[in-house]
Structure 1
Amino acid sequence: MKIRPFILAAVIFGLSGCSSMYYGTMEKLGVHKREIMVDRVKAARDTQNEAKEQFLTAMGQYKRVVNFQGGDLEKEYDRLNATLQRSEAKAGEVRARIRSVEDVSEALFSEWRSEIKHYTSDTLRRSSQQKYDLTKQKYAELITAMKRAESRLEPALVPLRDQVLFMKHNLNAMAIAGLSRELISVETNVDELVNEIEVSVAQADAFIASLENE
């Protein structure tokens, strides 16, 4: 969905106002909940991909510190700390994107359930119910995958936070050498996060395709 210039104000309003008022305003402007849902799933997918790349960058930076062979140790700390802050920010963005998907999906499915009752044709009612059930099932698979990926964010961040904090107060080569003991744990957590994100992204692609092909 391409957001037309004249509805930009409505978009801004939706970010600060309540969801129901936002969706109602967008509906009047010709932008339906299904379109908003597709857009938000795409945004969540893209943000998860960005988070994957950010955490892989953090992993690389951590390895660089562990393999420190001399130079300006404080600069290495500053780089790792900056990488951690970007990782924290991206994790927060992933969480927000998932919440926005949940918000619009709740509104969409609630409206859909209500409207199914209004059919006078049994055939059309059954057809709409079948589409609802199938879409709801696919959505459940999607949000489950997204939340599994989200659940791996904090475990990946915790050891990075610990090591940055440790470095802050122990800027010497001997202390840095001790960080190597945590390398396997850090790698494992990041690898698990990356795997879950890739599953979630694949689910998002499948869900988007199912909605766009209807």
Structure 2
Amino acid sequence: MNRLNVGCIYSLTFLFFVLLNFSGCQTTYYKTMERVGYHKRDIFTNRVKDTRNILEETEEQFKSALVGSRSFADAEGSTYEQKYNTLNKEYERCRDKSLLLSSHIKSIEKVAEAFFNEWEMELEHYVSNSLRQDSQEKLAQKRGQYEHLINSMKYIERKMDPVLINFRDQVLYLKHNLNTQSIVSLQDELALFEDEVLSLIKEIEISIGIADSFINSIVK
């Protein structure tokens, strides 16, 4: 099976899972998955892994946009219109990655809620007080690690908004002002955009590290 087919299957599968979540069929979905040996912990872990990979892809995309932004003023080898088209595509790809990341974050939140609620309810089934207490402590620890993870991801999500707004403004302005004078007048905006992207990339790398630590802890 080639990579394109695998990617299509993955995309359709993920869309199916999202539609199930939003259609109020979450409980049915989890029960169905458990029947085939795929429990909430597995779903939780895989969604974190998937989102961690989306973070990495998002980082690479913003790096690509940064390169495009830096090279825009240099028209050598191509016209401003050609460079505008390239920059516009970079913006659209950044926007799409942002939307994809948001959908993955929501999917993590949904399964995390189900996972932790189940764990908490199962505490009542213990006969041994010592085992119940130990499990309760592990639950609190894991919840704390999860909160750290999801907060870092949602911080990235919020931080991307002003970067994308700035990027979109530049693209819109350039659409009707493709000349040297306009490019020069945008230098301050381009410099601000570069600072914002570099800061965003740094935060994404931190969030990826937090995701890696969480994945390692939850699979133990």
Q: Same fold (TM over 0.5)?
A: yes
Distance in 2 between residues matched to 1:178 and 1:203, nearest whole Å: 40
Distance in 2 between residues matched to 1:178 and 1:14, nearest whole Å: 47
Distance in 1 between residues matched to 2:214 and 2:28, nearest whole Å: 26
Supply the AA of the counterpart residue of 2:108.
V
The 8 Å contact of residues 18 and 107 in structure 2, kept in 1 or not, is answered as: no
Distance in 2 between residues matched to 1:66 and 1:102, nearest whole Å: 42
Distance in 1 between residues matched to 2:75 and 2:27, nearest whole Å: 54
Deviation at 1:82, TM superposition (A): 0.7
Percent of residue pairs bearing the same amino acid type: 39
- Alignment of 1:75 with 2:82, yes or no, is yes
Which residue does 2:9 correspond to in 1?
A: none
Which residue does 2:69 correspond to in 1?
A: 62
- Alignment of 1:41 with 2:19, yes or no, is no
* TM-score of the superposed pair, with normalisation by structure 1: 0.90
- Alignment of 1:16 with 2:19, yes or no, is yes
CA deviations over 1:184-211 (Å, ceiling 9, x no partner):
2101111121111111111100000001
- Alignment of 1:53 with 2:56, yes or no, is no
- Greater displacement, 60-69 / 174-183: 60-69
Distance in 1 between residues matched to 2:14 and 2:192, nearest whole Å: 42
Deviation at 1:68, TM superposition (A): 3.5
Deviation at 1:10, TM superposition (A): 8.6
Alignment of 1:158-177 (within 5 A): 158-177=165-184
| Structure 1 segments (4+ residues) deviating >6 Å | 9-12
Number of residue pairs the alignment of both structures matches = 205
Which residue does 2:134 correspond to in 1?
A: 127
Supply the AA of the counterpart residue of 2:18.
L
- Alignment of 1:110 with 2:113, yes or no, is no
* TM-score of the superposed pair, with normalisation by structure 2: 0.88
Which residue does 1:84 correspond to in 2?
A: 91
2:164 to 149, 157, 160: 157
1:190 to 191, 197, 201: 197
CA RMSD of aligned residues (A): 1.7
The 8 Å contact of residues 160 and 200 in structure 2, kept in 1 or not, is answered as: yes
CA deviations over 1:135-158 (Å, ceiling 9, x no partner):
111111111111111111112111
Distance in 2 between residues matched to 1:12 and 1:147, nearest whole Å: 21
Distance in 2 between residues matched to 1:108 and 1:132, nearest whole Å: 10
List alignment gaps of at least 5 residues for structure 1. Answer: 1-8
